[in-house]
Amino acid sequence: MRRYIGIMVGNGVFKGIPAGRTSFENLSFYDEAGEKYEVTPCYFRFEDINPGEEMVEAYVKRGGAYLLQSVPKPVVIHNRIFTGKRSERRKIRKLKEEGIVFFNENNRYKKFRINDILAKEHKLRPHLPQTMMASEDNVKMMMEMHRELILKPNNGSLGSGIVKLTRDDEKQWEITYRDKKTLIKERFSSGWPPLLKQLSSRNLVIIQEMIPLARSKGRVFDLRVSVQKNEKGEWQVSGIVGKVAKKDWFLTNAARGGRCHTLTELLKELPHLQEKKVTAEIEMLSLSAARQLEKSLPHLADLGFDIGITNEGFPMIIECNCRELRYSFRNAGLDEEWKQTHFTPIGYARFLLDSGR
Ligand X SMILES: Nc1ncnc2c1ncn2[C@@H]1O[C@H](COP(=O)(O)OP(=O)(O)OP(=O)(O)O)[C@@H](O)[C@H]1O
Using CB under 6 A as the binding rule, whether residue 156 contacts ligand X is answered as yes
Task: Kindly state the smallest distance separating residue 129's Cβ from ligand X, in Å.
Answer: 4
Amino acid at 249: W
Nearer to Mg ion, 281 or 306 (CB): 306
Using CB under 5 A as the binding rule, whether residue 161 contacts Mg ion is answered as no
Q: Using CB under 6 A, which residues numbered 177 to 236 contact ligand X?
A: 208, 210-211, 213, 222
Using CB under 6 A as the binding rule, whether residue 158 contacts ligand X is answered as yes
Whole-number Cα distances in Å, 233 to 11, 327, 345, 350: 29, 24, 10, 9
**Per-residue binding letters, 234-273, with ligand X (x by CB under 6 A):** ----------------xxxx--------------------
Task: Kindly state the smallest distance separating residue 301's Cβ from Mg ion, in Å.
Answer: 19
Task: Kindly state the smallest distance separating residue 319's Cβ from Mg ion, in Å.
Answer: 5
d(CA 296, CA 51): 27
d(CA 140, CA 192): 10
Cα distance between the two ends of the chain: 20
d(CA 176, CA 184): 6
Q: Which stretch binds Mg ion (CB under 5 A): 173-181, 234-242, 298-306, 333-341?
A: 298-306
d(CA 242, CA 119): 25
Q: Using CB under 6 A, which residues numbered 313 to 352 contact ligand X?
A: 318-319, 321
**Size of interface with ligand X, in residues (CB under 6 A):** 22
Task: Kindly state the smallest distance separating residue 174's Cβ from ligand X, in Å.
Answer: 16
**Per-residue binding letters, 255-294, with Mg ion (x by CB under 5 A):** ----------------------------------------
Element (H, E) at 187: strand 182-188
Element (H, E) at 72: strand 65-72
Element (H, E) at 66: strand 65-72
Nearer to ligand X, 51 or 257 (CB): 257
Whole-number Cα distances in Å, 112 to 18, 178, 205, 317, 319: 40, 23, 9, 13, 9
Task: Kindly state the smallest distance separating residue 32's Cβ from ligand X, in Å.
Answer: 28
d(CA 87, CA 311): 47
Instruction: Note whether 50 and 24 are within 8 A (CB).
Output: no
Q: Which stretch binds Mg ion (CB under 5 A): 51-59, 86-94, 284-292, 300-308?
A: 300-308
Instruction: Note whether 221 and 243 are within 8 A (CB).
Output: yes
d(CA 156, CA 141): 24
Using CB under 5 A as the binding rule, whether residue 306 contacts Mg ion is answered as yes
Count CB atoms within 10 A of the CB of residue 41.
27
Using CB under 5 A as the binding rule, whether residue 156 contacts Mg ion is answered as no
Task: Kindly state the smallest distance separating residue 164's Cβ from ligand X, in Å.
Answer: 9
**Per-residue binding letters, 1-40, with ligand X (x by CB under 6 A):** ----------------------------------------
Using CB under 6 A as the binding rule, whether residue 302 contacts ligand X is answered as no
Instruction: Note whether 104 and 350 are within 8 A (CB).
Output: no
Count CB atoms within 10 A of the CB of residue 27.
20
Nearer to ligand X, 302 or 319 (CB): 319
Residues that bind Mg ion (CB under 5 A): 306
Residues that bind ligand X (CB under 6 A): 129, 150, 152, 156-159, 162, 208, 210-211, 213, 222, 250-253, 306, 308, 318-319, 321
